[in-house]
A and B are shown apart, each in its own frame.
Chain A
Amino acid sequence: MAPPALRIEGLSAGYGRRRVISDLSLPAIEGGGVTALIGPNAAGKTTLLRSLAGLVPARGSIRLDEVELTRLSVAGHSARVAYMPQALPQRVALTVLEATLSALMSSPDGASDVAEAQSRALRALERLGISDLAMRGLDELSGGQRQLASLAQSIVREPTVLLLDEPTSALDIHHQLRVMQFVRELAEERGIIVVIVLHDIAQAARYATRVVVMKQGAVAADGPPDAAITPAMLADVYKVAARVERCSHGFLQIMVDRALDEAGVQARSVAPPST
């Protein structure tokens, strides 16, 4: 069976009268890989992700295979797409298992009975290696554990499209690598589409199969990590002078030398050539 494909054409989205992204189109995002959305603050990464999740009013076309997502109801959308927000709830008197259960039981396409939902929820926790936290309250967890619990709520519904907004922002380096490795494995094993907003360019370079760089609501670069992440892009989009090299382990390494002024002209003249 061919992997699912997400096609975005002429997409405009924003909040109220403020348009954050306008007329954005992307070549098809195919299942089985991880697409990272990167870019500086206010580039429109989260708005694009939220419009894919159906949380921001959007015009244009978002098609998952033959299905036009923008025309679906909230329930129809959620049957195919799962979204993990960056903000985690505070002061919630629920256990990790209950929160994961509610993802299934509250969803129109979720589990039909509690026993089945319990099994599915526990499998999701086990998959993430946090089944020992099942009976712990969300408020008792560390930031990293809560982020993993939040990821469990997203994967438990076994979506075709998984959208993650900075899932590693509160994690220590060990958990960051675990989560990114997990997400990559999940995409490859299940052939699902994973779109992930990241601030960390090095993580995008290492774990994403495709990187979409955004700048002021438009796509500045798009392609495999070594094609999208270049010194020229970093100077133009991030306003930094940086080198991009491949280390002896085969990973792309980004070495930032200094911040540039707004024009970024100096960067292009002094930045070492890319490898």
Chain B
Amino acid sequence: MSELSPSSPAHDAELSAYARLVRRRIVLIGALCLLMTAAMLFDIATGPSNLPLSDVLTGILHPGALDAPSRVIIWDVRLPYALMATLVGAALALAGAEMQTILNNPLASPFTLGVSSAASFGAALALVMGLSLPLLPVGWNLPVFAFILAFGSVLLLQMLASLRGTGVETLVLFGIALVFTFNALVALVQFVATQEALQQLVFWSMGSLARATWDKLGVLALVLLATTPFSLAASWRMTALRLGEDRARSFGISVRRLRFLALLRVSLLAATSVAFVGTIGFIGLVAPHIARLLVGEDHRFFLPASMLTGAAIMSLASVASKTLVPGALLPVGIVTALIGVPFFVVLVFSRRERL
């Protein structure tokens, strides 16, 4: 076990092998970017009125070159829906990737700790009980209530966990308790709801992109822009956390702080997404798994790859929601799993042994 000089041939060979691995991952992330863009354009081009892809591109690049109805379809319907699909997919996937790392659990998703149940309860209060906040524009009441409850549930979770210590098990146990509590409260509200309100609530909980508007897109984009740099800045620490909590602490990482800040980001991303489009499961669970199979768990690559994968799956799910039943727009929350599962299974079976 003698010490070799830094310039030994073995050293150089391993360095160039690592450089190749890094290049391969960058290429894969580039390919995911292309896939996401293609899926988004395909999503914009898909709909009841037949708009060829060339018209879509023209409409986006030179809006004045198209006739008014096509312009309205592209700018007021297709583009917001498609962008919302992309942003929600990226937000939920980033939230899921961070959640799986901080909880050290491959089955974790943004909704594991009750964020979605709390949002549903908020939506139920707004829809069924007719609660509203003053000065809120029409159309914002429900998302704001959903957001307040979702974000509040995470703060409550943090508070409960800090009373008892911040171990992963404590967080998950309190999270599960919150899921059951909010589900029971939603059931209670449903029990007293009118037929019409109940129908609206059920539809809301299925998740739909049809609620997208440019203002909501702006808010979600801002949340993503505000959280992603912090996620990426924490990427080495998150990678180290994969080696175990004791290990990470011995590297000098304040795991409690890392976990708290990550959970805040997750709750912001998940609560905003759920508030605007309802519950969309599966993306936050499976997109990180696909990204992990593709680029491993160095979070510098894993987090962006998760976001791009989530965005691509969500866009493809949006296309499927428009085409599976001709003439009908299915709630996208129903089809995300239908699109994601085959993709996931193919990847698992074709997984190469090396990373």
Contact = CB atoms under 8 A, between A and B. Distances in A.
A85 B247 contact: yes
A79 B253 CA distance: 11
Nearest to B17: A135
A105 to B, nearest CB: 4
B296 A131 contact: no
Interface stretch (B198-206, B233-241, B270-278): B233-241
B250 A81 contact: yes
A105 B6 CA distance: 19
Contact of A93 (B15, B244, B292): B292
Residue with the highest number of chain B CB atoms closer than 10 Å, among A77, A94, A157: A94
A87 B244 contact: yes
Contact of A178 (B1, B253, B298): B1
Contact of B253 (A53, A95, A106): A106
Interface in A78-108: 78-79, 81-85, 87-89, 91-95, 97-99, 102-103, 105-108
Interface stretch (A118-126, A206-214, A223-231): A118-126
A65 to B, nearest CB: 19
Interface string B245-276: 01111111110000000000000000000000
A103 B243 CA distance: 9
Contacts of B222: none
A55 to B, nearest CB: 6
A56 to B, nearest CB: 10
A193 B14 CA distance: 31
Contacts of B15: 118-119, 122
B252 A85 contact: no
A122 B8 CA distance: 11
Interface string A26-44: 0000000000000000000
A182 interface: yes
B3 interface: yes
Interface in A23-77: 50, 53-55, 73-77
B296 A126 contact: no
Nearest to B242: A92
Residue with the highest number of chain A CB atoms closer than 10 Å, among B15, B21, B239, B293: B239
A93 B250 contact: no
Contacts of B246: 50, 53, 55, 83, 85, 87
Contacts, number: 146
B354 A106 contact: no
Place the interface of chain A in its size category. Answer: 35 or more
Contacts of B237: 106
Contact of A126 (B8, B17, B292, B354): B8
A38 B106 CA distance: 36
Contacts of A185: 1
Contact of B1 (A77, A97, A129, A150): A129
B343 interface: no
Contacts of A178: 1
A246 interface: no
A137 B355 contact: yes
Contacts of A93: 292-293, 296-297, 355
B240 A103 contact: yes
Contacts of B251: 78, 102-103, 106-107, 110, 157
Interface in A181-212: 181-182, 185
Given A89-B242, A94-B242, A106-B248, A135 B1 contact: no
Interface string B1-19: 1011010101100110110
Interface in B284-303: 292-293, 296-298
B167 to A, nearest CB: 11
Give the 8 A-B CB pairs with smallest separation, nearest first. Answer: A78-B252, A106-B240, A83-B250, A75-B252, A105-B236, A93-B297, A106-B236, A102-B240
14 contacts: A78-B249, A85-B244, A91-B106, A95-B21, A105-B236, A106-B237, A106-B240, A107-B240, A107-B251, A126-B4, A131-B11, A134-B14, A135-B14, A135-B17
Given A135-B14, A136-B354, 14 more contacts: A50-B246, A53-B246, A53-B250, A87-B246, A103-B240, A103-B251, A106-B251, A108-B252, A109-B252, A119-B15, A127-B1, A134-B18, A135-B354, A140-B354
